[in-house]
């Protein structure tokens, strides 16, 4: 077993109380590892804490507890100078390719900026490196003088990816990198991210609400619900034999591009979703874990774990 | 009444913004029969949303629209109607649900006031009757405790509930045709499934025609009888949904279907 590239232990993010509202546990005791060259997919509905988790790992959001180790180095206690030097090992790619590129900068300027900040290549080699980056993401190096508005959404996302890769990172957080794109462009960007991973040995944390996209990208998958990971395993384990009722619920709800099957899915009795509404407590079984004590992590199979009070199925409430 | 509910022939739409003039719809023809659900799929900019707006004679935001061809609704030519007649038809006979429920609702009016407005204007109900009818409609679309919620404002509802409220408003005058433009795109997948079930049920109970516009092949798959694939302002493929999905004829349709990520089976392996 190789040393993990990223090791997250009991990472928690607490948003302080505001206007009489109690503090919000946005991320609660997240623990996982990502091996070199591997992708962990992070799925869950909006507000489940996926984005906050990604930001906390990159130290863009202060964690209230827990540890994040990248390349063996603890990030949460680093001074800002040290952290700045670590930033060239960790980069991110965000959802919106329209707002994440400066409209008045040429593609060349956008891509040379990180090279200048991190001094990763000598000044006289910057131009060469920028052209190399454009080729890496399958863009024509002749586009170096163009501005972002001259590009399509997919091309812009390629530029965003090239910028993230400029400093030769080891780890990239991709937060909904393809959700704003059309289906064919999505597929192209997914293929690009996969080939870059193979070529450069990158590790990804791939955050998305689209379960099918995550299935294509991820080696391992973690399912988040209300700030916690409720299930984690290999993509095949989580998608083909989900152990947590919430995972099952998500998978059952994904519309499938097969008319016969999809009609049948819509005709099944609808699940009871009342636990999703209301005051942000209570799980699929209506149990308030905060009051009840968080259930422990059960190992379903090697590498596949679930956090649910009523696992295995048929115990607890279901059996009663 | 005979013939199709909606008969569109050679429809063109030219959208003029401050910056440019776009030939958004380039002469498309299709029918929607009463009780039938027809899907429109395609990538952004293919003209599917402009088509929906054109049928309602509405312009995309910040633009003006020029229409050509013919649109017959129960045999009546819509493109030749006066604005007053069109306004009477819109919402009452043809209703529309958009993607973003927050911007489609008035944030400073209670749900009851917005629904009552519509019912009084189109159906001439009294204030009291309109209120009672609104409560019934909210119950119909699955809003719990509708009598207590009717005086709430849009921000007091969740995203899924707001979309339900919009659907309630859309069906309040029992339209013959419901146009739904990406009705579930902004919603979480579990809530999306609920809204799709709701639309299916309402269509079956009330026998409305449905025009469903979406970029999502999974959404369209379970919802419609026939599907039109749009590309650059034209319908490049049309047919029963099972045929188009199983045996796409046009290379563009095949490319789109091939690009759809799958949860299980081919393509879903790593």
**B245, A256: Cβ pair inside 8 Å?**
no
- What is the pLDDT at residue B269? 47
**A190, B256: Cβ pair inside 8 Å?**
no
- What is the pLDDT at residue A100? 81
Q: A120: which strand partners?
A: none
With bands split at pLDDT 50, 70 and 90, how would you rate the model's confidence at A207? very high
**B222, A265: Cβ pair inside 8 Å?**
yes
Strand pairing class (A171-175; A203-207):
parallel
- Residues written for chain A: 320
| pLDDT tens-digit series, residues B209-228 | 999 999 999 999 999 999 99
Task: Give the minimum alpha-carbon distance from B133 to chain A in angstroms, rounded to a whole number.
Answer: 25
pLDDT reading at A282 higher than 60: no
With bands split at pLDDT 50, 70 and 90, how would you rate the model's confidence at A97? low
Closest by alpha carbon to B72, among B128, B123, B19, B33? B33
**A254, B264: Cβ pair inside 8 Å?**
no
Which chain A residues touch B225 with a CB distance below 8 Å? none
| pLDDT tens-digit series, residues A58-96 | 999 999 999 999 999 999 999 999 999 999 999 999 877
- What is the pLDDT at residue A3? 82
With bands split at pLDDT 50, 70 and 90, how would you rate the model's confidence at A23? confident
Please count the structural domains in chain A. 1
d(CA B170, CA B164): 10
Decide if A221 is inside a domain: yes
Q: Is A250 an interface residue toward B (CB < 8 Å)?
A: yes
CATH of span B33-56+82-259: 3.40.50.300
The percent of residues above 70 in pLDDT, for chain A, comes to 88
Give the CATH number for residue A125. Answer: 3.40.50.300
With bands split at pLDDT 50, 70 and 90, how would you rate the model's confidence at B77? very high
Q: A11: which strand partners?
A: A30
Which chain B residues touch A253 with a CB distance below 8 Å? 189-190, 192-193
Is-cis flag, bond preceding A199, omega within 30? no
- Those residues of chain B whose CB sits closer than 8 Å to some CB in chain A are 43-44, 158, 188-194, 196-197, 200, 215-219, 221-223, 241-242, 245, 255-264, 267-268, 270
Give the SS3 label for residue B17: coil
When comparing pLDDT for B207 and A36, which is higher? A36
Give the distance, in angstroms, between the CA of residue A315 and the centroid of all CA atoms in the same chain. Answer: 32
Q: Which domain holds residue A278?
A: 6-318
- What is the pLDDT at residue A120? 84
pLDDT reading at A316 higher than 50: no
Decide if A237 is inside a domain: yes
Chain B interface, mutation test: which of A98, A262, A284, most B Cβ atoms within 10 Å? A262
Q: Once rounded to an integer, what is the mean pLDDT over residues A223-249?
A: 94
CA torsion A161→A162→A168→A171, rounded to 10°?
A: 0
d(CA A85, CA B53): 52
Exposed, middle or buried, A20 (CB in 10 Å: 0-12/13-18/19+)? exposed
Tell me the DSSP string of B157-219: S-HHHHHHHHHHHHHTT--SEEEEESTTTTS-HHHHHHHHHHHHHHHHHHT-EEEEEES-HHH
pLDDT reading at B102 higher than 50: yes
Q: Is A260 an interface residue toward B (CB < 8 Å)?
A: yes
Q: Once rounded to an integer, what is the mean pLDDT over residues A3-30?
A: 90
| pLDDT tens-digit series, residues A150-186 | 998 899 999 999 999 999 999 999 999 998 889 999 9
pLDDT reading at B3 higher than 90: no
**B268, A216: Cβ pair inside 8 Å?**
yes
Decide if A1 is inside a domain: no
Closest by alpha carbon to A276, among A51, A12, A24, A46? A46
**A182, B44: Cβ pair inside 8 Å?**
yes
Q: How many CB pairs under 8 A join A and B?
A: 114
With bands split at pLDDT 50, 70 and 90, how would you rate the model's confidence at A310? low
When comparing pLDDT for A318 and B39, which is higher? B39
With bands split at pLDDT 50, 70 and 90, how would you rate the model's confidence at A297? confident
Which chain A residues touch B255 with a CB distance below 8 Å? 184
For B203, residues 6+ apart whose C-beta sits below 8 A from its C-beta are: B35, B37, B178, B210
């Amino acid at each position: 077993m190789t040393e993990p590239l990223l090791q997250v232990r009991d990472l928690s993010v607490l948003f302080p109380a505001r206007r009489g509202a109690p503090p919000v546990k946005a991320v609660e005791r997240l623990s996982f590892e990502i091996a070199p060259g591997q992708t962990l997919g992070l799925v869950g509905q909006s507000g489940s804490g996926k984005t906050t988790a990604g930001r906390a790992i990159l130290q863009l959001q202060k964690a209230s507890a827990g540890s994040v180790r990248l390349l063996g180095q603890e990030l949460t206690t680093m001074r800002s100078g040290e952290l700045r030097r670590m930033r060239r090992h960790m980069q991110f790619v965000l959802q919106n390719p329209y707002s994440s590129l400066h409209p008045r900068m040429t593609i060349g300027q956008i891509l040379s900026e990180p090279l200048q900040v991190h001094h990763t290549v000598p000044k006289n080699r910057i131009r060469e490196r920028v052209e190399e980056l454009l080729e890496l993401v399958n863009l024509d190096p002749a586009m170096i003088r163009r501005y972002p508005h001259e590009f399509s959404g997919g091309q812009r996302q390629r530029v965003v990816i090239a910028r993230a890769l400029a400093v030769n990172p080891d780890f990239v957080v991709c937060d909904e990198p393809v959700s704003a794109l059309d289906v064919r462009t999505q597929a192209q960007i997914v293929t690009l991210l996969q080939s870059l991973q193979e070529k450069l040995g990158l590790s990804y944390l791939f955050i998305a609400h689209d379960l099918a996209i995550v299935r294509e990208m991820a080696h391992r998958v973690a399912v988040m619900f209300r700030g916690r990971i409720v299930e984690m395993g290999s993509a095949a384990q989580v998608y083909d034999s989900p152990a947590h009722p919430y995972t099952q619920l998500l998978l059952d709800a994904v519309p499938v591009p097969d008319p016969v099957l999809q009609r049948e899915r819509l005709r099944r009795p609808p699940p009871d979703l009342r636990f999703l509404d209301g005051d942000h407590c209570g799980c699929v079984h209506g149990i308030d874990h905060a009051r009840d004590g968080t259930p422990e992590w059960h190992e379903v199979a090697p590498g596949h774990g679930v956090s649910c009070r009523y696992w295995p199925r048929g115990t607890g409430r279901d059996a009663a | 009444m005979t013939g199709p509910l909606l008969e569109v022939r050679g429809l063109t739409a030219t959208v003029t913004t401050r910056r440019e003039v776009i030939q958004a719809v380039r002469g498309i023809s299709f029918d929607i029969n009463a009780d039938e659900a027809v899907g429109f799929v395609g990538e952004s900019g293919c003209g599917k949303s402009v088509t929906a707006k054109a049928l309602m004679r509405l312009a995309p935001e910040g633009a003006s629209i020029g229409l050509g061809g013919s649109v017959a609704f129960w045999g009546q030519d819509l493109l030749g109607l006066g604005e007053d007649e069109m306004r009477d038809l819109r919402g009452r006979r043809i209703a529309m649900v958009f993607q973003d429920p927050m911007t489609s609702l008035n944030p400073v009016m209670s749900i009851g006031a917005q629904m009552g407005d519509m019912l009084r204007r189109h159906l001439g109900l009294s204030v009291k009757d309109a209120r009672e009818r609104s409560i019934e409609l909210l119950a119909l679309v699955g809003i719990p405790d509708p009598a207590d919620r009717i005086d709430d404002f849009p921000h007091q509802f969740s995203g899924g509930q707001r979309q339900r409220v919009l659907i309630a408003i859309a069906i309040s005058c029992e339209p013959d045709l419901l146009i739904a433009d990406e009705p579930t795109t902004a919603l979480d997948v579990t809530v999306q499934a609920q809204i799709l079930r709701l639309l299916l049920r309402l269509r079956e109970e009330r026998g409305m025609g449905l025009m469903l516009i979406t970029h999502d092949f999974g959404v369209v798959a379970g919802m419609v009888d026939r599907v039109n694939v749009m590309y650059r302002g034209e319908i490049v493929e049309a047919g029963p949904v099972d045929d188009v999905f199983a045996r796409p004829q046009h290379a563009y349709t095949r490319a789109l279907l091939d690009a759809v990520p799958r949860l299980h089976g081919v393509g879903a392996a790593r």
